[in-house]
């Protein structure tokens, strides 16, 4: 009886430890490239945003943490063209700027590969 209890405690302890330290979060690439049709690709500093915002859901509430999520959803009509740009990128950069803190670009050519 005591031996069984001891074993059970051991197993529970092991599982808890594995969950706490074993399961690494996949943070994806440090830099992402987001296609934007004829406007040209947008280089996106992913790690910088993870550090600055400390909130994955600030972006990934709208699209999942999977490669090519944005172009795939746009293709299926689940995201409109410019939806991410207007509702996230530019919206947040404008809000940060208005708050007088560090922000990102809001000028087309500072994000898009092809100057527009």
Residues that bind ligand HEC (CB under 6 A): 25-29, 32, 34, 36-37, 39, 42, 44-46, 48-50, 52-53, 56, 58-60, 65-71, 81-85, 88-90, 92-93, 96, 102-108, 110-112, 116
Asked whether 69 and 63 are in contact (CB, 8 A), the reply is: yes
CB-based burial, 56-70: b 16+ in 10 Å, e otherwise: eeebeebbeeeeebb
Nearest C-alpha neighbor of 105 from the set 39, 45, 62: 45
Using the minimum distance from each CB to ligand HEC, give the nearer residue, 19 or 26. Answer: 26
Most distant CA atoms of the chain, gap in Å: 75
The first and second tokens of residue 86, run together, are: 């207007």
- Pick the closer one to ligand HEC by CB: 4 or 100: 100
Provide the minimum distance between the beta carbon of 16 and ligand HEC in the complex, in angstroms, as a whole number.
Answer: 22
Q: How far apart are CA 89 and CA 111, in angstroms?
A: 10
Residue 5 vs 98, nearer CB to ligand HEC = 98
Q: How far is the CB of 41 from ligand HEC (least distance, A)?
A: 9
**Least Å from the CB of residue 64 to ligand HEC:** 8
């Amino acid at each position: 009886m005591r031996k069984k209890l001891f074993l059970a405690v051991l197993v529970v302890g092991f599982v808890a430890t594995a969950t706490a330290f074993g399961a690494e979060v996949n943070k994806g690439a440090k830099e992402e490239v987001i296609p934007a049709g004829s406007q040209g690709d947008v280089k996106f500093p992913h790690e910088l945003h993870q550090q600055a915002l400390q909130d994955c859901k600030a972006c990934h509430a709208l699209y999942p943490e999977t490669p090519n999520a944005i172009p795939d959803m746009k293709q299926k009509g689940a995201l409109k063209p410019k939806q991410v740009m207007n509702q996230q990128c530019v919206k947040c950069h404008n809000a940060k700027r208005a708050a007088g803190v560090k922000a990102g670009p809001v000028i087309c050519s500072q994000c898009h590969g092809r100057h527009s």
